[in-house]
Structure 1
Amino acid sequence: MRKAKLLLFVILSCCILPLHAQLKYFAGVHGDMSIPAFQNGEKVFGFGGGGNIEGGVYLGNLSLGLLGGVSFSNDKGELVYEMTEWKAGLEAGYDFGKEIIPFFPEWLAVRPNLAVLADFYKADGYRSKSKKTIGKDEVSQGFSPVIEAGLLVDFPNLLSYKAFDFIPAVGYYHTFRMENEGMVSSGRVSLGMRVLFSPSKLGSFNMDGGTLNVFATTRSKMFTPNGDGEDDIVVFDVSSDADEHEGVNSWELRVYDPGQKIFFIDKGKGKLPEDYTWKGISQNGSIVDGGAIYQYVWYVKANDGADGFIPGIIQTGVMVQEDDGVLHFSLSSIQFGPNSAGYEGLTDEEIQRNKDLFDTVAQILKKYANYNVTIEGHANNVSGTEREHLKELLPLSSARAQTVKKELIARGIEAERLNAVGRGSEKMVTNKKDEAWKNRRVEFILTEKE
């Protein structure tokens, strides 16, 4: 009964919990130390070891994959004194990290895991006690269906390189082997590593790449597609040294939103476009958010096979909107230090972007001199709990709103016009994990003076 409950718990954890849309890939390797079977005493065999390889996909926190491995035992048991097993099958797991268990640190997650396997074995030993008495041993081999239920501890967010995350894991598996005489169960301790590949991170380049030199710039510092006739489009100047490589074969432009999702793609054959123009509209017709940072990557391939890319950023400016007679605008590109209302840990370039953005906001507020301004700090609730909202996000968002207020006062905006408040996570605009950046924002609400 206890085994049935364990299997049911793992199945529910792995298969029924909600999925997320962001697709990632993983591969892993694990070393095992086997613990002897404790049922069907005549088939008990001793300690051993082995290894497994795995590969598959992540849908949010859910992992689905293929598992294969080999294990052996050579400590003397009652009848079987040496056994080798080869197994292959399907596995599923679900990661419970900080976003689900709020008191967990960012580097810790628990993963229930379930595998259904075909087990092929070769055993050296005795078929019965009587044959053991006369010393007649023999080799037997066969096949058994196997279910493995495991509980692992993962250590994410410790080591990463570009689009790859390296996740150490340690845990325990319990194996349920179906044989003619009934179920035989045994355990094993596992230690290994998963490597997670996130295609969406490919946009996060920080240097030129490839064997072909590619150059790209934009002509506007701020991009504000609000129809006012100023900076409504982005114009790219793009070039390469493809003439030294038999000319351009193909090109591709990708634009990623602040959450690293592909927002826009365009591609072509032959010569690079001159004065390439983009209006800030995605493939599905949505427009860029104001006050955000979008990344772009130009890829170019030459006729001789050489290729290269160059990344860059597009910063969208302030776009004042009116809803129900209320003027407002929102900025998600103001950057702060981790869990801070200051700029600790930011690069000089990031700090300069903040300054440019504050300059722009100050200029706009001077145009609306007859309006008072409420500055609202907003945050993303990772755990979804009231505790995080009250204890962490409210004070943090309030402090960040005060920082913005001070920056605007330093740029000539009258202090009596400004009111800074923290909203924490009470006005989150999305629950999607890959759009969490939309919740981390500063909103400016303009109300006309009486």
Structure 2
Amino acid sequence: MASAAEQLAANLNFGAFAKATELKKRLWFTLGVLIVYRIGTYIPVPGIDASVMAELVRTHGGGILGMFDMFTGGALGRMTVFALNIMPYISAAIIMQLMTAASPTLEQLKKEGEQGRKKINQYTRYLTVVIAAVQAYGIAVGLESITGTLGPAVAEPGLFFRFSAVVTLVGGTIFLMWLGEQITARGVGNGISLIIFSGIVANLPSALAATLELGRTGAISTFVLLFLLVMAVVVTGAVVFVERAQRRIIVQYPKRQVGNRMFGGDSTHLPLKINTAGVIPAIFASALLLLPVTIAGFSAEGGPEWLQPITAALAHGQPLYMILYAAMIVFFAFFYTAVVFNPTETADNLKKYGGFIPGIRPGQNTAEYFDYVLTRLTTVGAIYLVAVCLLPEFLISRYAVPFYFGGTSLLIIVIVTIDTVAQIQSHLIAHQYEGLIKKARLRGARK
């Protein structure tokens, strides 16, 4: 028999959506914030020649510059106030998660509940400012040394330009961080993810047009274009299936007697996702592998002599690149899963509240069982990530398909869409529950 929540979810319709005024306010607020973000991606940093920056992105678009320009929705290529986007905050959040796992002080702070979480969030913001400042200064210094065919990238290099560029770029990142928090609190949730999502989606039409232009000029055959379309649909379906898949571990709570009444005896489940690490392994692996290619590309001589063979071997589609890419994805999948899920801590919490897994002794045995299940789930999840990320890499290297059709961007789009739809459904279900409660109260008052 379906639960009440499942019945409500099955009966969601446009009529219920029209009556959910709170949800509509949240959607309009989210849309307004994303429009503000997109406007900011066209406000340039003072003192930079936009035409030289556009030429730079076209020249070095196959390296890490092209990948991060994709995440920023073109803001990096135009060198606008949101050129760093929200990436420093994501880096800071990941570093704080790693430090929490390594530092007993931070780990204890994490266990203090809401107060400890606020403190860790505050440290994350401070670290975001530091990372953004370092990246902004590096970009400012790097731009001063760049001269394209149209002239220098910076009209008046010097200390004042570096200061103004750092203040502008760091301010843009902090503002985006604040916007993301506002979407999470007053919108439909997942604020940081939605900002990255909107940046990628905003440039999808131009990327699609560029791909179709390759077909029109004969660079890509009609058969290949059809294959790309079919592959995109199939891979999207596979991503949705795997991201929604769960391994549900039954958790039983014993009965207890209080006076003459019996309480407890309920059973629930602990859901474990196949891909616990999400899209983080793909982002980390791409960034590390594309770094030497980008360093070599910025140098007129192709970089140091020892770097040139490495750069050639790490080009898209090369066997070494594919092998290292797959190995790094697998490594980061296991590493990040170990950071975000602690089997021992979960087993201790279950034991503390009297929960147990049928057939498994509480405590250490339960922790070992969690580790056993999670290791096998992560193996499947890592293989899935490798398959999704490597297949588009062949197309990018073989047919010069834009980064927007890569596995990383596809994962971000699908995962964020699934999470956002789930948030909207939860708001609709809550609204329908409120309506049922109000009707019940009115009937009770009449009686």
Alignment TM class, shorter chain as reference: under 0.3
Higher helix share: 2
How high is the TM-score relative to the length of structure 1?
0.27
How high is the TM-score relative to the length of structure 2?
0.27
Larger Cα Rg: Structure 1 or Structure 2? 1
* Structure showing greater relative contact order (alpha-carbon pairs closer than 8 Å, 6 or more residues apart): 2
Higher strand share: 1
